[in-house]
Structure 1
Amino acid sequence: MSLKLDKIDRKILEILQSDGRITNAQLSKEIGLSPAPTLERVKKLEQSGIIKSYHAKLDTAKINLGVSTFVQVTLRGHNKENIEEFLKEINTIEEVIECHHITGSGDFILKIMAKDIASYQKLMLEKVSDIKVVDSLQSLVILSTFKDSKVLPIPN
């Protein structure tokens, strides 16, 4: 179900993506509505599933996660059973923070966060490459990140 978004809904979504902790009073000032209709609109966006959750963005260096990688995964066969087995296993590995089904030479791309290279190597050897349906892995270590926005563009 797609909800029709007006200019005010889009503005609410832009603001909440930038500051999920904004008070309803401040949000209502920024969009030019009184607090009650503002809260009603936010609730509608939450109930419709457009707003799925609220999160704190953490500083990876301060929580001792020094290695970020993308890993392209190719499965032994691209069939429903192998995909389901892979997803079941990959969802148990907390260091895998993203998993995307892709087109091209691989089947999936993972984003993995680890403490250091030794931790990353252990994770790859003991968990990821140990998944029986995995045929090959190609790791891409992220040297530095110049843009890491979680703010989605909201189409008209």
Structure 2
Amino acid sequence: ADRQSFLVDVANLHEVVECHHVAGDDDYLLKVYVSGTRGLEFFVSDCLKALQGIERTHTTVVLSTAFERPLSPGKR
């Protein structure tokens, strides 16, 4: 699958709220919202891995958020 097809497919997964193209060992970082570990398992196994071109995944779970800082105008 080419990059554009992947991006269209990922954009159609309602659990995905952010998609970032990254440098390093991985190609993309997805931020997803799911309901618990069963929801995560379903998303990774049945939704994400079903997409053409997905060779492997790496999952990190956020336990809590210390803070989130909105960007100031003009700081982007």
**TMscore range, shorter length:** 0.7 to 0.9
* Partner of residue 108, structure 1: 28
- Structure 1 runs (4+) deviating above 3 angstroms are none
Could you say which residue in structure 1 is the equivalent of 2:41?
Answer: 121
| More strand per residue | 1
Q: Which has the larger radius of gyration?
A: 1
Quote the Cα distance in structure 2 between the aligned partners of 1:112 and 1:148: 16
In the aligned structure 2, how far is the partner of 1:107 from the partner of 1:146? 26
1:85–1:133 CA contact under 8 A, matched in 2: no
CA distance in 1, matches of 2:47, 2:31: 15
- Return the alpha-carbon distance in structure 2 between the equivalents of residues 137 and 100 of structure 1: 14
Q: Which has the higher helix share?
A: 1
Answer whether contact 1:100 1:108 (CA < 8 A) is retained: yes
| Residue pairs, 1:56-135, within 5 angstroms | 82-135=2-55
Work out the percentage of aligned pairs sharing the same amino acid.
23
Query: Helix, strand or coil for the counterpart of 2:50?
Result: coil
Structure 2 gap ranges (5+): none
Maintained 8 Å contact 1:99/1:111: yes
Deviations 1:31-53 (A, max 9, x none): xxxxxxxxxxxxxxxxxxxxxxx
SS of aligned partner of 1:140: coil
TM-score, with length taken from structure 2: 0.88
- Aligned-residue offset at 1:107: 0.6
Q: Aligned equivalents of 1:110 and 1:127: distance in 2?
A: 13
Q: Which has the higher contact order (CA 8 A, sep 6+)?
A: 1
Q: For residue 71 of structure 2, what is the aligned residue in structure 1?
A: 152
Q: TM-score, normalised by structure 1?
A: 0.45
